[in-house]
Chains A and B, each alone.
Chain A
Amino acid sequence: MLRMADVHAGYGATPILFGVSLEVRAGEAVALLGRNGMGKTTLMKTAMGFLRPRRGTIEFDGTDLTRLTPHAIARLGVGLVPENRRIFFGLTVRENLELGLSAAADRSAALRRRRLDEVFHHFPRLQERIDQPGKTLSGGEQQMLAIARVMMAGARLILMDEPTQGLAPAFIRSIRDMISELKRLGVTVLLVEQNARVALSVCDRGYIMEKGSIVFEASSRELRESPVTHEKLGV
């Protein structure tokens, strides 16, 4: 579904990614692990079109993404749950969710109703806070909103960047359960996590990134047991 080959990218003149290749197949949940500053977020931003790769190809369902704008990529069915959530603080929960619908081809009242029902079914807390401004939400609730936002879009591939960062254990569990639930619903997930244990408990397989390159790839079970994981992640 998503295939990156030999992707080089960076900020201005500073190269960060050095020939990354990876693949996420339809229906899979794949973990992308690595220490801080190794380029995981940069990779997500490049896939979403925030950064333009200098070299290499990124394909989604056979479409080349490297020359597309972020909104065009979102409309193809790619959803980003970004690092630090990036919800809109001045807008209410409802307005945030409706912005999520922007990527949907049809924005009919019926679709909005249906998607909102789905989201509230999974995140009843968001329904309770529907008319509250985003800035009044707790970190965990903001994370739920960021996930709900891409569900509103009906994203088929979700790029999730450290969704459990800074959350209390109860929220971490509910985010993990939500990822399994998304998988069950047929959504494909690429998950960046510092918390390797959580990531490997929901993902089928994973990659380890180091200094802008993929250095290891294995099934979740192998990754859990491999000394490489411990060496590269320091866990």
Chain B
Amino acid sequence: MDYLVAVLLPQLLHGLVFGAALGLLALGLTVIFGLLGVMNFAHGELYMLGAYAGIAVVGVTHSFWTALIVAPLAVGAIGAVTEVTTLRPLYRREPLYGLILTFGLALVFREAVRQIWGGDMRRILPPVTGSTPLLGMVYPNYRLFLLAASSILLLAIWLFFTKTRAGILVRAAVQDAEMLDGLGVNVPRVFTLTFAGSAALAALAGLLLAPIFTVYPQMGVEMILLAFIVVILGGMGSMGGSVVAALVIGLAQSLLTLWMNPQRVAIAIFALMIVVLIVRPRGFFGREGVLE
């Protein structure tokens, strides 16, 4: 019982918190995959840019809350400009070109950050401190805030895709962008705004997680690997699947660290992915198989 309350429960909550934030990252990735047919290798760097943009804004305004609004907007704008200037000319080509491009963009963003901020580890102080007694343990307030914020964001994203015209346009573009254009919708603009939105979401995740992690130029690399696994597990292009898979991976990662060192956890997560894909080659909710 003591073990449960003192060790298992907090770790379970950690997993939920991390999984929900990972879900934000994976959602953007899966939507872009649905739209462009490529995994966006620069997605982890947009996540990283969110944290650095947050540091910059906090440096000027001394307000984490302001940063939480300004940083995603700034990274969203970077995403929009990137899409228009570099990705758009490649849409008529094979997906491989897009893949190589995003890989290059990731290197450019990482190096640019290293030039501006240097390669050191940095921290952002949590905007809320203290802890709350909860289910017989005490849990940090910032993590509770993180869980609430991520859940609200996931719900808002779900409402966006099911209830708003803009969200429906994105879903239609994922299925058949050419036809949607033929119905009178400015599809290139839908692409740009979706890319910007996905960048802003990644940035938001980066900044939200920054107070519990550290900020450094490579921080996106680890996360993107997990996000890829989440997208594959969820079923490439399935949004609901991504959220479910993110929570599964978040919990698995968090619980496994109780018994293993980080390298073994990484291996175990890969093993988990392989087992799921053997049983369900299309992931949890995928339409097209990755292993078929």
Residue ranges of A at the interface with B (Cβ–Cβ < 8 Å): 48-50, 69-71, 73-75, 80, 82, 86, 88-91, 95, 98-100, 102-104, 149, 153
Residue of chain A at shortest CB distance from B171: A90
Interface centre among A82, A88, A100 (most CB of B within 10 A): A88
Other A-B pairs beyond A74-B181, A99-B185, 16, CB < 8 Å: A48-B182, A50-B181, A69-B186, A71-B181, A74-B183, A86-B179, A89-B175, A90-B175, A91-B171, A98-B168, A99-B169, A99-B172, A99-B183, A100-B183, A102-B185, A103-B184
For residue B187, which residues in chain A have a CB less than 8 angstroms away from its CB?
Answer: 71
For residue A50, which residues in chain B have a CB less than 8 angstroms away from its CB?
Answer: 178, 181-182
For residue B172, which residues in chain A have a CB less than 8 angstroms away from its CB?
Answer: 88, 91, 99
The 5 closest A-B CB pairs, nearest first, are: A103-B184, A74-B184, A102-B184, A70-B181, A70-B182
For residue B180, which residues in chain A have a CB less than 8 angstroms away from its CB?
Answer: 99
Task: Flag if B175 contacts A153 (CB, 8 Å).
Answer: no
Task: Flag if B171 contacts A71 (CB, 8 Å).
Answer: no
Task: Flag if B171 contacts A153 (CB, 8 Å).
Answer: no
Task: Flag if B176 contacts A86 (CB, 8 Å).
Answer: yes
Q: State the CA gap A49–B178 with chains docked (Å).
A: 10
Task: Flag if A103 contacts B168 (CB, 8 Å).
Answer: no
Residue of chain A at shortest CB distance from B179: A86
CB distance from B191 to the nearest CB of A (A): 13
For residue A100, which residues in chain B have a CB less than 8 angstroms away from its CB?
Answer: 183
Task: Flag if B182 contacts A91 (CB, 8 Å).
Answer: no
Q: State the CA gap A199–B272 with chains docked (Å).
A: 57
Q: State the CA gap A74–B187 with chains docked (Å).
A: 12
CB distance from A101 to the nearest CB of B (A): 8
Q: State the CA gap A61–B175 with chains docked (Å).
A: 32
Q: State the CA gap A82–B171 with chains docked (Å).
A: 19
Q: State the CA gap A145–B185 with chains docked (Å).
A: 18
Task: Flag if B171 contacts A80 (CB, 8 Å).
Answer: no
CB distance from B159 to the nearest CB of A (A): 15
CB distance from A10 to the nearest CB of B (A): 14
For residue B183, which residues in chain A have a CB less than 8 angstroms away from its CB?
Answer: 71, 74, 99-100, 102-103, 149, 153
For residue B169, which residues in chain A have a CB less than 8 angstroms away from its CB?
Answer: 99
21 contacts between A and B (CB under 8 A): A49-B181, A49-B182, A69-B181, A69-B188, A70-B182, A82-B179, A82-B182, A86-B179, A88-B171, A88-B172, A88-B176, A90-B175, A95-B168, A99-B168, A99-B172, A99-B183, A99-B185, A100-B183, A102-B185, A103-B184, A149-B183
**Which residues of B (94-126) have their CB < 8 Å from a CB of A?**
none
Residue of chain A at shortest CB distance from B176: A86
Residue of chain A at shortest CB distance from B174: A90
**Which residues of B (47-62) have their CB < 8 Å from a CB of A?**
none
Q: State the CA gap A138–B175 with chains docked (Å).
A: 19
Task: Flag if A91 contacts B179 (CB, 8 Å).
Answer: no
For residue A49, which residues in chain B have a CB less than 8 angstroms away from its CB?
Answer: 181-182
For residue A102, which residues in chain B have a CB less than 8 angstroms away from its CB?
Answer: 183-185
For residue A149, which residues in chain B have a CB less than 8 angstroms away from its CB?
Answer: 183
For residue B179, which residues in chain A have a CB less than 8 angstroms away from its CB?
Answer: 82, 86, 88
For residue A99, which residues in chain B have a CB less than 8 angstroms away from its CB?
Answer: 168-169, 172, 180, 183, 185
Q: State the CA gap A104–B185 with chains docked (Å).
A: 10
